Amino acid sequence: MADRYFSPAEVEALIPALTELVERVMAGHREASAARERMQAEQQRITLAGGGILDREAWQAERQRLDRVLERIQEALNEILALGGVPKDLELGLVDFPHLRHGQEVNLCWKCGEREIRYWHGLDEGYAGRKPL
């Protein structure tokens, strides 16, 4: 049982702030994924070469960059949670909000880019189970 239930209008009032936060999360997620791929490629290069010299300064700089990105993502996610939303998918930019529909607890489902709340889904469903309000 949720601490608070949102109406579609209440979530719609949050869309400008949500959009900014979710866009930050999505950009950070892309940046973190790219950094992880670069680090994995470097590990693979060294392994395939039978060992080798690791540029420790470059590796540490990449690691620090990744840590900063992850910190920014976490800060934005915490702000979304403070608004009452539950982030669901960092790539799609999905956020759910608890809602009572005909006395049953469900989620209002918002996707980054949507200008109004038009969908809901059950607690055991996800984005694929979205239904029109």
Hey, where are the domains in the chain? 8-132
- What are the tens digits of pLDDT across the range 77-101? 999 999 999 999 999 999 999 999 9
pTM, 2 dp: 0.87
pLDDT at 39: 85
Tokens standing for 58? 């470059």
Q: How far apart are CA 125 and CA 105, in angstroms?
A: 12
Q: At what angle do helices 56-83 and 8-48 cross, to 10 degrees?
A: 160
Contacts of 26 by beta carbon, 8 Å cutoff, 6+ apart? 90, 91, 93, 112
Tokens standing for 103? 């006395």
